[in-house]
Amino acid sequence: MNTIIYFPPIFRAAFEKLANFLAQAPGIIHISWISSFLPLFAAFRAGRPFTRGKQALLLLCLIDMLCEVTALGYAYFREPNGWLIHLLTLSEFSLLMLIFSFWEADPNRRKYLRWSIPVFWVCWLLINLAVDEAAPGQINFSRAIAAITLALTAGYMIYRLAVNPQVVLNRDYRFWVALGALLYFGGNIFIFAQGFLANSPVQAFVWKFHVGFNILRNLAFTAAMLSGAPREDRVEPAADAEQLV
């Protein structure tokens, strides 16, 4: 016996509109928001107790995933979603700097990393009192500052891990977190500074680079969730590790 499921016209029309919207969106957009779920699935699969650094990373991945899905919904209803930029900027900077501070064995450097969080919040507030960074075409000063700071810090952390003979990079979650941050923020500094080149002929082309870096970051964070973590997050430097070579 065949069962016929009846959908009210209003739901059927909404479903058809949603299907058309998703069909018109570039494929890379779908890859991006789908990839935001991967770190969460990896964390669930790992199932082991997480260090403080991994707990903060899990929270960051959850916020990123919710923002991806919310942004998709705003695009569907053609509503502005500028507030999401502020949420992402503040949460990404705060949580990544907190994660990096967990790795730092030196108490002074650890203090500097943590103090950078409220300092950045104050800078963000002052900038946004002066200009609306979420407006189309507006240079996003605070996001560019965050990108430069996080990219440099992530690169330094990778160096610290690389010169430590006790660390196997591809098996250490700290390497994957730092690599993901370096790729995403290092690759997007110009895009953030230019306000995504709003109303520019190359806007769509440049935006694909931004989405591509976002996918790479999600993949790196997925690898981080699947990789092991030391009992203590802190990076114990090898001899002469602080000297640049």
Residue 36 has pLDDT above 60, yes or no: yes
Coil, strand or helix at 149: helix
Coil, strand or helix at 166: coil
CATH topology of domain 27-226: Rhopdopsin 7-helix transmembrane proteins (1.20.1070)
Query: Which tokens belong to 14?
Result: 């909404």
**DSSP E strand stretches across 89-230:** none
Residue 63 has pLDDT above 80, yes or no: yes
Can you give the residue ranges of every domain in the chain? 27-226
What local confidence, expressed as pLDDT, does residue 175 receive?
Answer: 96
CB 87 within 8 A of CB 67: yes
Tell me the residue type at 113.
L
Element (H, E) at 170: none
Q: Find the range with the poorest average confidence among 14-18, 151-155, 164-168, 215-219.
A: 14-18
Opening angle at CA 201, ends 199 and 206, nearest 5: 90
Query: Which tokens belong to 76?
Result: 């569907």
Q: Per-residue pLDDT tens for 154-199?
A: 999 999 999 998 888 999 999 999 999 999 999 887 777 665 555 5
Q: Per-residue pLDDT tens for 115-136?
A: 999 999 999 999 989 888 777 6
- For the chain, the average pLDDT equals 81
What would you report as the CA-atom Rg of the chain, rounded to the nearest whole angstrom?
Answer: 20
Confidence (pTM):
0.82
